[in-house]
Structure 1
C-alpha cells in the first residue's frame, strides 16, 4: 500500500499549495512555525481590538483631540509634585500626555 501525500485544505489558494509542495522539509517546518506564530499574533490583536472597542466610553469633554477616548487619567509624582496625565495603550507601548497639576483639593 503506497503512502499517499496529505490533501490540502480546500480553502487554501493553489499558489500556496504549489509553493508548499515544492518546498523542502526544513522550509516546511519553518513555514509551519511561522504560520502558527502569525495566527496567534492576529488572534491576539483581534482580541485586544475587541476588548478596546467594548471598553471605550463616551469621550470626556476635557480630552485633547490627540488623545484616544480609551485613555484614563493617572497621577504621577515628580520631585514631590503631583501631576495628572492621560495614559493609554498604543500597541505594545504605554503613551502618556500631560493634563495638569493635582490641586491640593483633589
Structure 2
C-alpha cells in the first residue's frame, strides 16, 4: 500500500507550498501552531473593529448615566401603584435595570 502526500489547497500560493514541502516535521508543526494563533488573532481584531464601529454609530442620550450601556432602553415599572422609569438592557442571559425617575416627574 503506497502512501501519498496530502494535496495542498488550490488557493495556496505556490511559494508557500514549496516552502512547506521543503520543511522538516518540527518546522511544519511550528508553522501550523503560528498560523493557527495568527488566524485567531486576526479574527479577534476584526471582531473588535466591528464592535468599535457599531459603538461609534450608537449615540448616547444626554441623560444616560455612565454605567448604563448605549443599547439600554427605557421601560416603565409599576411598584405599589406608583410608576417609574428604568433603564433596561440585556447582559448575556440577564436583564439588568437601573432606576431613572418617577413617570410623573414631567419627563
The TM-score, its normalising length taken from structure 2, stands at: 0.53
- Structure-to-structure mapping, 1:1-106, within 5 angstroms: 1-57=1-57
**C-alpha RMSD of matched pairs (Å):** 1.9
In the alignment, the residues of structure 1 paired with residue 8 and residue 59 of structure 2 have an alpha-carbon distance, to the nearest angstrom, of: 48
Looking at secondary structure, tell me which structure has more helix per residue: 2
* Aligned residues between the structures: 62
* Residue of structure 2 in register with 1:82 after alignment: none
The TM-score, its normalising length taken from structure 1, stands at: 0.54
Could you list the structure 1 runs, at least 4 aligned residues long, displaced by more than 2 angstroms after superposition. 57-60
Structure 2, unaligned runs of 5 or more: 61-65, 68-107
User: CA 1:2–1:59 in 2, change beyond 3 Å: closer, same or farther?
Assistant: same
In the alignment, the residues of structure 1 paired with residue 46 and residue 55 of structure 2 have an alpha-carbon distance, to the nearest angstrom, of: 14
